[in-house]
């Protein structure tokens, strides 16, 4: 996938853009082709099918819905199984923000070619319950169960999310990160546990049949092992093989999306005199389907170092505050091989 551009003047647009900042054209994402198209109220013809702006456009959704889909809502919005009530305006504002991250996730999954089976078409299909603990006062547990990913919309509030990040001693916590982690559980279920990949997965990550309840209790009672950084991408990954896989899957998405985005901007980085990073020019690729994980990391580590330097120049925390030891690289390699072996044509229709 190249960068999104205005279909009229070719100005670069963000994934969530609804109107071109240069010429003002109303536009939206056409899911099957992952391209921006004109989004007039009367609809637009794409390859013989009429597409209309999603009925949630007033809430920031910029996707198009097919006229023959049976719904005025786009695919991304239909994947939201549960959402706040219409009179909960505060929660709906946060839903708009979280939905943008959900759509960003779906674009990345489609770009990778990962299958997206819909919850409303098949039991165990992918769906989202986007709820707010601030509305009901009841706890909303972020998690995955049989294809349904639950997200607490309160995490869209910077002060709420940052307080949790600090209290849990996490170097990174974002709404998009939650989506990427939880969808890792979904893909482990359908692409690994139900396939011949499971034996190798258990060798690399451990046996997921170990008691998850006991693992949670142990983790929050004792914390991560002192030497966790030698074999895991994060402290949370040490809790249980499921969490180790989901964390590595999320990082695989972090890495590949950032590399491809950098490539779309024709970014090259010259590295000299940086510890553990070979001297030379790094030019990210526009796609890594034919690359090994070693090749991906050879591009990623210098680029992450550069981005960390940029962030520090702005007085911010590192963009990528993680290290990737050999055992983690091996886990990422497994995720990469599973993803590449599971690619399908036109995952979003």
Place 2 in a pLDDT band, splitting at 50, 70 and 90: low
Q: Cβ distance 57 to 65 under 8 Å?
A: no
pLDDT at 192 over 60: yes
Considering only residues 282 and 1, tell me which one the structure prediction assigns the higher pLDDT.
282
Task: Look at residue 20 in the predicted model and tell me its pLDDT.
Answer: 97
Task: Look at residue 276 in the predicted model and tell me its pLDDT.
Answer: 76
Q: Using alpha carbons only, how large is the chain's radius of gyration in Å?
A: 21
Which sign, positive or negative, has the C-alpha torsion 320, 321, 326, 328? negative
Place 1 in a pLDDT band, splitting at 50, 70 and 90: low
Cα-based distances in Å from 16 to 5, 96, 115, 266: 12, 11, 22, 22
Task: Look at residue 267 in the predicted model and tell me its pLDDT.
Answer: 95
Task: Identify the DSSP state of 45.
Answer: E
Task: Identify the DSSP state of 24.
Answer: -
- Three-state DSSP class for 29? strand
- The Cα–Cα gap between 260 and 287 comes to 6
For the chain, what are the domain ranges? Answer: 4-71, 81-341
What average pLDDT is seen over the chain? 95
Q: Over range 57-78, report the average pLDDT.
A: 94
Dihedral of CA atoms 64, 256, 1, 201 in degrees, nearest 10, equals: -80
pLDDT of 235-248, one tens digit each?
999 999 999 999 99
Least confident of 36-40, 241-245, 273-277: 273-277
Which sign, positive or negative, has the C-alpha torsion 120, 125, 128, 133? positive
SS in 3 state form for 243-308?
Answer: HHHHHHHHHHHHHHHHHHHHHHCCCCEEECCCCCCCCEEECCCCCCCCCCHHHHHHHHHHHHHHHH
Task: Look at residue 9 in the predicted model and tell me its pLDDT.
Answer: 97
pLDDT of 303-341, one tens digit each?
999 999 999 999 999 999 999 999 999 999 999 999 999
| Residue (of 64, 3, 186, 112) closest to 347 by Cα position | 112
pLDDT of 104-129, one tens digit each?
999 999 999 999 999 999 999 999 99
pLDDT at 163 over 60: yes
pLDDT at 152 over 80: yes
Provide the token pair at 315: 């007085």
Cα-based distances in Å from 108 to 64, 114, 250, 253, 348: 17, 9, 12, 8, 11
- The Cα–Cα gap between 230 and 239 comes to 15
């Amino acid at each position: 996938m190249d960068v999104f551009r205005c279909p009229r003047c070719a100005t670069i647009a963000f994934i969530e853009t609804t109107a071109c900042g240069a010429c003002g054209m109303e536009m939206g994402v056409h899911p099957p082709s992952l391209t921006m198209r004109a989004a007039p109220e009367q609809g637009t013809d794409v390859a013989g099918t009429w597409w209309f702006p999603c009925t949630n456009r007033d809430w920031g959704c910029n996707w198009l819905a097919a006229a023959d889909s049976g719904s005025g809502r786009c695919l991304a919005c239909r994947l939201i199984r549960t959402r706040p009530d219409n009179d909960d305006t505060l929660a709906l504002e946060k839903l708009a923000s979280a939905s943008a991250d959900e759509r960003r996730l779906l674009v990345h999954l489609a770009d990778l070619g990962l299958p997206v089976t819909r919850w409303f078409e098949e039991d165990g299909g992918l769906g989202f319950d986007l709820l707010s603990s601030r509305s009901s006062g009841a706890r909303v547990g972020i998690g995955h169960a049989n294809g349904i990913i639950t997200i607490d919309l309160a995490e869209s509030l910077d002060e709420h999310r940052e307080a949790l990040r600090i209290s849990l001693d996490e170097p990174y916590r974002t709404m998009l990160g939650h989506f990427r982690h939880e969808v890792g559980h979904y893909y482990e279920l359908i692409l690994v546990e139900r396939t011949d990949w499971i034996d190798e997965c258990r060798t690399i990550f451990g046996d997921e049949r170990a008691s998850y309840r006991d693992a949670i209790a142990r983790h929050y009672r004792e914390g991560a092992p002192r030497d966790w950084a030698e074999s895991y991408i994060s402290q949370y990954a040490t809790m249980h093989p499921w969490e180790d896989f989901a964390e590595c899957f999320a990082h695989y998405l972090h890495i590949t999306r950032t590399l491809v985005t950098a490539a779309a901007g024709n970014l090259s980085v010259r590295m000299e005199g940086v510890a553990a990073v070979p001297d030379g020019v790094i030019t990210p690729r526009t796609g890594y389907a034919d690359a090994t994980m070693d090749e991906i990391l050879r591009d990623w580590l210098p680029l992450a170092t550069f981005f960390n330097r940029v962030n520090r120049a702005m007085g911010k925390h590192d963009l990528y505050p993680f290290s990737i030891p050999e055992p983690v690289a091996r886990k990422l390699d497994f995720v990469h091989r599973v993803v590449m072996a599971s690619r399908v044509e036109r995952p979003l229709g």
